[in-house]
Amino acid sequence: MSIDLTEYQRELLARVLQHGGVLAAPFGHPGDDSLEEALLEDIDALEAEGLITVERSRGHEAPERLSLTEAGYDALGMS
């Protein structure tokens, strides 16, 4: 796979995998987590690479559910 993932992006994919391939919000401690902005950037980057699909709350931009795609499983060596 040619996608270079950061350690945190790989960890985020692994957390989704640990939850059966679907992770529901909250992803940490929204509002209180100093890494929330970086987390949202990682979610956007992983979605752009096609490694996860993101369901957002109706009328909001906040992610509600993350799901691994086939490419996400491949990135974790789970093909």
Task: Give the pLDDT confidence score for residue 18 in this predicted structure.
Answer: 87
Domains of the chain by residue range: 9-23+51-68
pTM over 0.75: yes
Task: Give the pLDDT confidence score for residue 26 in this predicted structure.
Answer: 62
Q: Give the model confidence (pLDDT) of 13-58 as tens digits.
A: 998 888 888 888 766 555 555 456 778 889 999 999 999 999 987 8
Of residues 69 and 64, the one with the higher pLDDT is 69
Rounded Cα distance, 57 and 72, in Å = 22
Tokens of 46: 């992983």
Task: Give the pLDDT confidence score for residue 71 in this predicted structure.
Answer: 95
Residues sharing a CB contact under 8 Å with residue 51, sequence separation 6 or more, in sequence order: 3, 13, 68, 69, 71, 72, 75
DSSP 38-49: HHHHHHHHHHHT
